[in-house]
Amino acid sequence: MTEQHYVIIGNGPAGNEATRHLRENDPECRITVVAADRLPYIPRYNLFRVLDGVEDWRELLAHPPEYYEEMRITLRRNTLVTSVDTGRKMIGLKHKEWLPYDKLLVASGGGGYLPEDLRDYRGLIHPFGSFEDAVRLKQDLPEAGQVVMLGGDMMGIYLGQKLIQLGYRVTLITDVHLFWPHKLGERDPTPYYHALEKAGFDLVNGKKVVRIEQGEAGLSPRRVICEDESVYTADVVLGCYGLMPKLDFMAHAGLDVQRGLLCTPELQTSDENIWAAGDVCQIWSPEENQYRVSYEWNSVKNMGRVAAINMAGGHEVINTFSEGDVGLDEHGNLTSPFWDFD
């Protein structure tokens, strides 16, 4: 077999796990990881340590810097993929370079979703997806500062709990994304609201946010305005409305896309040389006759593993569709498989 060049778009848990298994399953191959991040792979849950006061990003890395050299992985950081040419088997980079591949893994993850009517206010909402975001959040929060969290997805609730433990005040203005990607369905929400209050959230239910404004000099930096004209002031506003797959660069590639990149249970897309893994993909479930997504940390890692094995010629299938649910423990505290990392 001639040396294969595997190119992976994304250095999150899916892409990272894939590199390890590609090296194991095809020891002689070439691996190139292209990622928009400025820094090497930092697992998202390590970002919370920035709030504890960790300032040096090196302490948060999943692997020591020499890992990539030892594994013979070319890591191209700070590099944005803008297109995929499936005919020529090349990816286009923002700085106009074309990079050829034999087999491509798309593991570009998802970005924070914002409802259409709040998109104009994106600049007033703090993201929390990178080391730089975490540093900015910490810098912009004074001691015992006020956070207004919108939506209330499971990632946000986890972050909110952390902020409350650190002495910040968190007001949560909920909407249909509360507990996303879980759904309460027909369940009585009351004990779940109590659990949030017990964790220290100031809960605001049933109000629609219509505007976010920059506060005037000397006053709170942010004002969140609801439809009934009530105003919530904050040092920082967090948008926690779930994730949206990042796929702009695939727009003209001609692959089957719905919300995410559609793929088989072997994680192959509609192109025979392209696989997908992680938050970016929707996987066919033959049992349910529909496409499924899974955003849990461990299942995202598993997708990276399965995609790598199959890119190297294997035939493993994903069958982990038990997506878990939000629940309550015997003390009335929230539980979720979304908060299990390893």
Ligand X SMILES: Cc1cc2nc3c(=O)[nH]c(=O)nc-3n(C[C@H](O)[C@H](O)[C@H](O)COP(=O)(O)OP(=O)(O)OC[C@H]3O[C@@H](n4cnc5c(N)ncnc54)[C@H](O)[C@@H]3O)c2cc1C
Contacts to ligand X by CB under 6 A: 9-15, 34-37, 44, 80-81, 107-110, 128-129, 155, 158, 246, 249, 278-280, 295-297, 300, 338-339
Kindly tell me which of 129 and 215 has the beta carbon lying closer to ligand X: 129
Q: CA-CA-CA-CA torsion for 273, 279, 282, 287, nearest 10 degrees? A: 120
Kindly tell me which of 138 and 207 has the beta carbon lying closer to ligand X: 138
Determine the residue type at 36: A
CB of 230 to ligand X, least distance (A): 27
CB of 321 to ligand X, least distance (A): 15
What DSSP designation does 257 have? B
Kindly tell me which of 107 and 255 has the beta carbon lying closer to ligand X: 107
CB of 84 to ligand X, least distance (A): 10
Q: CA-CA-CA-CA torsion for 77, 78, 79, 81, nearest 10 degrees? A: 110
CB of 87 to ligand X, least distance (A): 20
CB of 132 to ligand X, least distance (A): 12
Q: Which of 75, 102, 80, 103 is nearest to 92 (CA)?
A: 80
CB of 2 to ligand X, least distance (A): 27
Q: Specify burial of residue 180 (Cβ count, 10 A radius: 0-12, 13-18, 19+).
A: buried
As given in the structure block, the two tokens for residue 123 are: 């600049």
Task: Classify strands 146-151 and 236-240 as parallel, antiparallel or unpaired.
Answer: parallel
Kindly tell me which of 110 and 160 has the beta carbon lying closer to ligand X: 110
Kindly tell me which of 45 and 273 has the beta carbon lying closer to ligand X: 45
Give the separation between CA 323 and CA 154, rounded to whole angstroms. Answer: 13
Kindly tell me which of 221 and 278 has the beta carbon lying closer to ligand X: 278
Task: Count CB atoms within 10 A of the CB of residue 104.
Answer: 27
